[in-house]
Amino acid sequence: MLTREENDMLTQTGRGTPMGELFRRFWMPACLSEEIPSADCPPVRVKLLGENLVAFRDSNGTPALVDAYCPHRGAPLFFGRNEECGIRCVYHGWKFDASGACVDMPNTPEGETYKDKVTLTAYPCFDAAGMVWAYLGPKDRTPPRPGFDWMDLPDDRTYVRKYHLRCNFFQALEGDYDPSHGMFLHMTRDLTTPSAIQDAAPVLGSLLSDKGFLKMKFLSFEETDFGMLHVGVMPEADGTQTVSASTFYFPCFSSAGLAGPGVYSSNMRIPIDDESCYMYRFRWSYEPFTEHQRNQDRFGGFTYPEQIPGTFMAVENKDNDYLVDRILQKNYSYTGIKSFPIQDLALVEDQWGPRADRSREHLVTADEQLMRVRRRLLKAARELQEGQEPAGPHNPEGFRAHTARTRMPANLPATEVIDRIKDLTVGPPPDSRLHTI
Ligand code: FES
Ligand SMILES: [Fe+2]
């Protein structure tokens, strides 16, 4: 539970708010690279942290992210002409380059000199991992590119799709730090035949205690420059233990999510405004994806839900109750909702509305992980409010840590367990079969 003030601080990211300023210290995806596919392509609307913007690619192919409105008299630049290294407002012809400089003011005699006094707000950006990354903070604090191992991987090792979510970014993100929900909400393994149910029983059984509680326990919640590193252990029937490390990266990146052996996951919930966000559902690997892996993601509909053509909205969405199937729910699955991520969406898009009032909650020990993440983020926002800049953006190497999972003997001291799993959070896994995520 949070106070109303803490809840507001956690969930409001407009310019000038404490969390909004923290977000404006980090690079974050503004759109998919394919949304502005080529030099001089049509501009697209982008809303980010409550700011109305327009993205385009200039004649050199450089991505640009600028204010959605022309500084002359506020006309929408979405209708602008993207030509000869700049975007030209079609109301009176003023033209701006990717850096926001006014390079032409053809409708008035003083244009030749007055244009030097006018600028369009423009944010620096670059392409990486299929996304256009932007920085909306103070120019003199522009950080280096984040050092995620996957930032510069070739295209055949990354996969990303973007979804429009109708809730606050943190509401969506919290689901990734909520280990007890998986055994309820996502009980949709392949339980469509009696033999599949039988096959699944030993797996599900090993995760749960006799009373049905999740057996996983956390050994540590370490605060790092990049955010947090959590280490959890789960006893196994053969006397060993499964040890896993998971990460929270400032300001809104998590690494939760099922993926195949040797495939890592990164979920990014980027605020559009305080009641909606984009989720970039990203998968990556140190090895090229097989065609099979790619096709599974793309066409199955279970891990990458189908979208309404021409939008980033899933076909199963709030307007149609996520196509919940009550017969399916009675007989086979816990929710009756088909797609894995949509099961989450159905619950998180409406927790007392799109921006939950956390002062009304009744939290329990099973909620410890998300409480820790809240506190970490609030602490960083408060520190910045008091003038202490976050260290993370200027320590890009820190972002290299990723999730890890392995088996260890059960009798190891906790410090050794933590040291060993931390070693596995950087670089390729020694054996991808043992380090499935
Ligand atoms: S409003 Fe854009 S040039 Fe006049
Ligand atoms: Fe979930």
Domain boundary among 115, 141, 167: 141
The tally of domains found in the chain comes to 2
Residue 74 CA, closest ligand 1 atom number? 1
- pLDDT value, residue 435: 38
Same domain, 386 and 419: yes
| Residue 84's CATH number | 2.102.10.10
Same domain, 117 and 165: no
Same domain, 167 and 68: no
Same domain, 164 and 259: yes
Same domain, 211 and 357: yes
- pLDDT value, residue 255: 85
Domain of 84, in residue numbers:
27-141
Residue 77 CA, closest ligand 1 atom number? 2
Please report whether residue 14 resides in a domain.
no
Please report whether residue 7 resides in a domain.
no
- Residue 377 and residue 25: Cα distance in Å, rounded? 13
Please report whether residue 219 resides in a domain.
yes
Please report whether residue 149 resides in a domain.
no
Residue 92 CA, closest ligand 1 atom number? 3
Cα(61) to centroid(ligand 1), Å: 24
Same domain, 96 and 176: no
Same domain, 169 and 228: yes
What residue's CA is closest to ligand 1, atom 4?
Answer: 92
Closest Cα partner for 399 from 23, 147, 228? 147
Within 8 A by CB and 6+ apart from 188, the residues are 332, 333, 334, 335, 337, 338, 340, 343
Cα(73) to centroid(ligand 1), Å: 5
Please report whether residue 6 resides in a domain.
no
Please report whether residue 18 resides in a domain.
no
Cα(115) to centroid(ligand 1), Å: 12
Token match 């009744």: residue? 362
Indicate if ligand 1 lies below 6 Å from the C-beta of 323: no
Cα(208) to centroid(ligand 2), Å: 17
- pLDDT value, residue 254: 94
Characterize the bridge pairing of strands 51-57 and 44-48: antiparallel
Cα(174) to centroid(ligand 2), Å: 9
Two structure tokens written together for 344: 């989450």
- pLDDT value, residue 430: 72
Two structure tokens written together for 236: 């196994």
Domain boundary among 91, 117, 141: 141
* Phi-psi region at 53: left, alpha or beta (left = phi > 0; alpha = psi -120 to 50): beta
Domain boundary among 141, 176, 195: 141
Please report whether residue 147 resides in a domain.
no
Same domain, 105 and 200: no
The residues of the chain scoring below 50 in pLDDT are 190-192, 433-437
> Which of 66, 79, 94, 96 is the pocket-test mutation for ligand 1 (most atoms within 8 Å of CB)?
94
* Beta carbons within 10 angstroms of residue 92's beta carbon: 15
Same domain, 132 and 166: no
Please report whether residue 239 resides in a domain.
yes
Same domain, 284 and 204: yes
Same domain, 182 and 305: yes
| Residue 190's CATH number | 3.90.380
Predicted TM-score (pTM) of this structure: 0.93
- pLDDT value, residue 182: 83
Same domain, 266 and 356: yes
